[in-house]
Amino acid sequence: MAADVQLSLLGRTPGFPAAVPLVGTPHRGASDLGALARAVEECGRCGLRAGATHVVPGEGNPAARLMLVGEGPGQQEDLTGRPFVGPAGQLLERMLAAIGLKREEVFIANVVKCRPPGNRVPADEEAAACLPYVLARIELVNPEVVMLLGATATRALAGKNLAITKVRGQWFERAGRMYLPTYHPAALLRDPSKKREAWEDLKKVRDYLGLPG
């Protein structure tokens, strides 16, 4: 992959606004995930880094066909520096197993890389500050499918005015890559009635990637 990563999502899909190209990023020219992780570690684009125990840059297969993007680190993720290791992460692993995937076969990341105080939802400006890292990581991993887990990821990568309850399960395309919003595993733990819809979304990913049924 070219070292000069294009940090923008191009194209327009009906129902989804075109993304705004990003400029002035601190890691233009990052040629691998290690370099990008180091850039994230040194980041000071918002105030979240000052209160974080560990930055959580993301982890997984660097050539994954499927990438999952959540909201941000929680307490256990902040302590370990790894994404989705708490109860929501355990559910996510079971969800992946249901379509024949192991955690190490996918790439898992979040919109923001540092834990917001009290596990609150990231502010718009915090999500915007971290978005260039998310876009660069998508370009470096180059997955076929990106699942957007929950409202924050959907607003960041699909459109700030979109409601997850309205767009979950709807495919959209950016620069030849397919995106699918679905519920965050934490939302499924709070409201198990949503699991049926989430399972339908997972089956769409399974079928798109041609995984065994």
**What percentage of the chain exceeds 70 in pLDDT?**
85
Q: For the chain, what is the mean pLDDT?
A: 86
d(CA 61, CA 64): 5
Q: Show the domains of the chain with their CATH numbers.
A: 33-209 (3.40.470.10)
Q: What angle do CA 62, 64, 66 make, to 5 degrees?
A: 140
pTM, full prediction: 0.86
How many angstroms separate the most distant Cα atoms in the chain? 45
Q: How far is CA 71 from CA 4, 109, 212, in A?
A: 26, 8, 29
Per-residue confidence (pLDDT) for residue 31, from 0 to 100: 56
CA-nearest of 209, 30, 26 to 131 is 26
CB under 8 Å to 22, separation ≥6 — which residues?
7, 8, 131, 132, 135
Q: How many CA atoms lie less than 13 Å away from 166 in the CB half-sphere?
A: 9
Lowest mean pLDDT among 8-12, 121-125, 128-132: 8-12
Q: What are the E-state strand segments in 19-60?
A: 59-60
6-37 pLDDT tens trace: 333 323 333 433 333 333 344 444 458 888 98
Q: What angle do CA 122, 37, 160 make, to 5 degrees?
A: 30
Whether 179 and 208 have beta carbons less than 8 Å apart is answered as no
Per-residue confidence (pLDDT) for residue 148, from 0 to 100: 98
38-81 pLDDT tens trace: 899 999 999 999 999 999 999 999 999 999 999 999 999 999 99
